[in-house]
């Protein structure tokens, strides 16, 4: 079958219930849609004919993309759907449906959370519930043979004007069996993050799931599944030689959760002499010096730490349960081995006060961090924090929002009386205090390796001052 995978450019659409202030959202970077690329990889392996349109990376307007769709004449159009941008995405899908009458299939965590509500939009024909790589192949097989979809696990669809939700599909146990993302369809030279230093740049997932129970995080799954060290290194090697990638961002929720596996991956990279810069995400309590030594030797040059708060009561409130001593130790060890350290922080947590925010800013400034990001807490669907808030409110805001954009309003925060406006002021204050220290500015400029990198920093700084 002929399938168009479409990833339109939205830009910064709305700030309601989103975590970033505008200056951050505007300068975040251009990332590949790796989940859609994984689906494309599975479709390629199955022999389907594909086109992948990335509006943000390629700079295509909706009209540009529609012209390419019409020329390609697909049987199926596929989109990723998120809860934040559900109504914007539905509008865009409707635009493409007007231009070309193909069936529409959507996927993403949003569909897993709100399958039937998603299908209320008549422009959507089928939703993939859960992981898509196997479901989509079965769905297309049924469509090709004009057979019923009722035996396909993990989907929702419309039949005789009724929305049908099939039985759940089990998670894929052998992640090594999943084809690599179809990067041959992507404009690889266009991707970057705000702080990436090398091109080409891409994202890699070496595991799925997280066993920690942070109340604010939608990634917690109670289990974790790993790819083998060999399989991860195989993909890195393909990225390096086939796609000229020189920087990889390992997007696992928690890459450092299994020390033995991390060291195995690092040893495999070293054995193959893959000269690629990479970064990853970590908690401060899942990393040690032995791991850092091997990561550095294997090319790791930046670690993103979920620090969240500088107040230990707040950390207990969100079930992070880390200590400031652990935070300091992890960051200092990281810097000792000449790896850049990035700290994520959130304001608006349960029990948050102006003093706890001040404690967080002071902690961030006291650490030898190379980067810091400050966000408003956003109560995401699928988190235990949202379940508690839902119980407190007496209704499911996100479910109602998916059904009707008209109910959109700023969500209250658990045990935190500060408004978005006040939190935004604190966030801007945190950024200004952290990044505009003269010593920090000089240190940052000394590390700049290219003119585009310098331009990104200057643009972000001006945006922060203006907004």
Question: 241-298: per-residue pLDDT in tens?
Answer: 999 999 999 999 999 999 999 999 999 999 999 999 999 999 999 999 999 999 999 9
**What is the pLDDT at residue 145?**
96
CA neighbor of 282 nearest in space, from 259, 299, 315: 259
Give residue 352's pLDDT band: very low, low, confident or very high (50, 70, 90).
Answer: very high
Q: Using an 8 Å Cβ cutoff, are 292 and 329 in contact?
A: no
| Backbone dihedral angles phi then psi of residue 353, each to the nearest 5 degrees | -130, 170
- Phi, psi (degrees; rounded to nearest 5) at 156: -130, 145
To the nearest whole number, what is the mean pLDDT of the chain?
94
Least confident of 143-157, 320-334, 433-447: 433-447
Number of Cβ atoms within 10 Å of the Cβ of 125: 19
What is the distance between the alpha carbons of residues 356 and 363, in angstroms, rounded to a whole number? 10
Q: Dump pLDDT digits (tens) for 205-226.
A: 999 999 999 999 998 878 999 9
Which architecture does CATH list for 2-165? Answer: 3-Layer(aba) Sandwich (3.40)
Q: Is the pLDDT of residue 434 over 70?
A: yes
With 90 as the cut, is the pLDDT of residue 458 above it?
Answer: no
- Closest among 14, 83, 13, 22 to 375, alpha carbons compared: 22
Answer yes or no: is pLDDT of 18 > 80. Answer: no
CATH fold of 195-377+413-435:
pyruvate-formate lyase- activating enzyme (3.80.30)
- CB under 8 A, 24+ apart: contacts of 364-367: 364/307, 364/310, 364/430, 364/434, 365/433, 365/434, 365/437, 367/327, 367/328, 367/331, 367/341, 367/343
Please determine, for residue 28, whether its predicted confidence score (pLDDT) is greater than 90: no
Secondary structure letter of residue 413 according to DSSP: B
The pLDDT tens digits of the residues spanning 378-429 come to 999 999 999 999 999 999 999 999 999 899 998 999 999 999 999 999 999 9
Packing angle, helices 86-99 and 62-72, rounded to 10: 50
Confidence tier at 24 by pLDDT (50, 70, 90): low
Give CA–CA dist 32/38, Å, rounded.
11
Cβ neighbors of 428 (< 8 A, separation 6 or more) are: 21, 23, 464, 467
Tokens, residue 113? 């959370």
Residue 445: pLDDT band (50, 70, 90) is confident
CA torsion sign for 37, 39, 41, 44 is: negative
Residue 132 to residues 3, 201, 250, 438: CA-CA distances in angstroms?
15, 24, 20, 48
CA distances from 183 to 33, 92, 232, 394, 432 (A): 10, 24, 15, 45, 38
Closest CA to 128 of 169, 183, 77: 169
Asked if residues 390 and 315 have their Cβ atoms less than 8 Å apart, the reply is: no
Contact criterion met (CB below 8 Å) for 339 and 300: yes
pLDDT in tens, 100-139: 999 999 999 999 999 999 999 999 999 999 999 999 999 9
Confidence of residue 446 (pLDDT cuts 50, 70, 90): confident
Instruction: Find the mean pLDDT for residues 86-96.
Output: 96
SS3 208: strand
Residue ranges of the chain that CATH labels 3.40.50.280: 2-165
Question: 191 pLDDT exceeds 80?
Answer: yes
Least confident residue range of 326-330, 363-367, 455-459: 455-459
Determine what percent of the chain is predicted with pLDDT higher than 90.
Answer: 87
What's the gap between Cα 98 and its chain centre? 30
What is the pLDDT, as a whole number, of residue 225? 97
- Say if CB 140 and CB 48 are below 8 A apart: yes
Dihedral of the alpha carbons of 133, 139, 141, 142, in degrees to the nearest 10: 160
Q: In the numeric block, which tokens belong to residue 57?
A: 């990376």
Residues of the chain with CATH 3.80.30.20: 195-377+413-435
CA angle 199, 202, 208 (to 5 degrees): 160
Distance between CA atoms of 146 and 148, rounded to whole angstroms?
Answer: 7
Instruction: Report the pLDDT averaged over residues 46-54.
Output: 98
126-128, strands of its sheet edge to edge = 49-54, 2-7, 76-80, 103-107, 126-128, 155-159, 162-165
Find all residues with CB under 8 Å of 135, minimum gap 6, and list them: 128, 129, 152, 153, 154, 155, 169
At residue 27 the predicted structure's pLDDT band, cuts being 50, 70 and 90, is low
Query: Is the CB of residue 410 less than 8 Å from the CB of residue 393?
Result: no
In degrees and rounded to multiples of 5, residue 310 shows phi and psi of: -100, 15
- The sign of the CA dihedral 370, 374, 380, 386 is positive
**Beta strands 201-204; 207-209: pairing state:** unpaired
pLDDT digits (tens, 9 = 90+) for 245-261: 999 999 999 999 999 99
CA 112, CA 109: separation in Å to the nearest integer?
5
Q: What is the pLDDT of residue 17?
A: 72
Cis peptide before 200 (omega within 30 of 0): yes
Query: The whole model's pTM is what?
Result: 0.93
Q: Tell me: the pLDDT tens digits for 30-44?
A: 999 999 999 999 999
The pLDDT value recorded for residue 56 is 92
Helix, strand or coil for residue 465?
Answer: helix
């Amino acid at each position: 079958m002929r399938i168009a995978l479409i990833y339109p450019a939205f830009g910064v659409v709305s700030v309601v219930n989103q975590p970033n202030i505008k200056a951050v959202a505007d300068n975040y970077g251009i990332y590949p849609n790796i989940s859609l690329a994984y689906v494309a990889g599975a479709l390629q392996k199955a022999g389907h004919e594909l086109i992948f349109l990335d509006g943000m990376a390629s700079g295509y307007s909706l009209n540009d993309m529609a012209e390419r769709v019409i020329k390609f004449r697909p049987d199926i159009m596929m989109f990723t759907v998120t809860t934040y941008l559900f109504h914007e995405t539905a509008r865009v899908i409707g635009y493409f449906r007007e231009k070309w009458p193909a069936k529409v299939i959507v996927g993403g965590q949003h569909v897993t959370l709100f399958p039937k509500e998603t299908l209320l939009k008549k422009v959507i024909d089928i939703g993939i519930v859960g992981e898509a790589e196997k479901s989509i192949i079965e769905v297309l097989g049924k469509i090709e043979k004009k057979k019923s979809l009722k035996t396909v696990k993990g989907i929702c669809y419309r039949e005789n004007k009724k929305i049908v939700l099939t039985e759940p599909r089990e998670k894929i146990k052998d992640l090594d069996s999943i084809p690599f993302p179809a990067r041959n369809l992507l404009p690889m030279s266009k991707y970057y993050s705000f702080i990436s230093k090398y091109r080409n740049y891409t994202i890699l997932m070496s595991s799925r799931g997280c066993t920690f129970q942070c109340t604010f995080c939608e990634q917690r799954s109670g289990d974790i599944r790993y790819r083998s060290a060999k399989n991860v290194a195989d993909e890195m090697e393909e990225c390096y030689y086939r796609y000229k990638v020189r920087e990889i961002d390992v997007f696992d929720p928690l890459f450092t959760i299994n020390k033995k596996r991390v060291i195995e991956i690092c040893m495999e990279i070293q054995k193959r002499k893959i000269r690629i810069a990479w970064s990853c995400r970590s908690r401060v309590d899942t990393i040690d010096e032995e791991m850092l030594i091997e990561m550095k030797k294997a090319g790791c040059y930046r670690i993103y730490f979920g620090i969240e708060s500088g107040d230990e009561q707040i950390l207990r409130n969100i079930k992070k349960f880390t200590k400031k001593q652990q935070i300091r130790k992890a960051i200092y060890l990281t810097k000792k081995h000449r790896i850049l350290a990035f700290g994520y922080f959130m304001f608006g947590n349960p029990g948050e006060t102006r003093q706890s925010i001040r404690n967080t800013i002071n902690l961030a400034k006291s650490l030898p961090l190379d980067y810091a990001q400050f966000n408003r807490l956003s109560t995401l669907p699928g988190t235990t924090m949202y379940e508690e808030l839902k119980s407190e409110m007496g209704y499911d805001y996100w479910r109602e929002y998916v059904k009707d954009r008209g109910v959109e309003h700023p969500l209250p925060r658990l045990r935190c009386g500060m408004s978005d406006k006040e939190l935004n002021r604190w966030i801007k204050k945190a950024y200004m205090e952290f990044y505009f220290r003269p010593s920090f500015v000089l240190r940052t400029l000394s590390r700049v390796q290219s003119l585009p990198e310098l331009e990104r920093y200057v643009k972000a700084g001006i945006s922060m001052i203006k907004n």
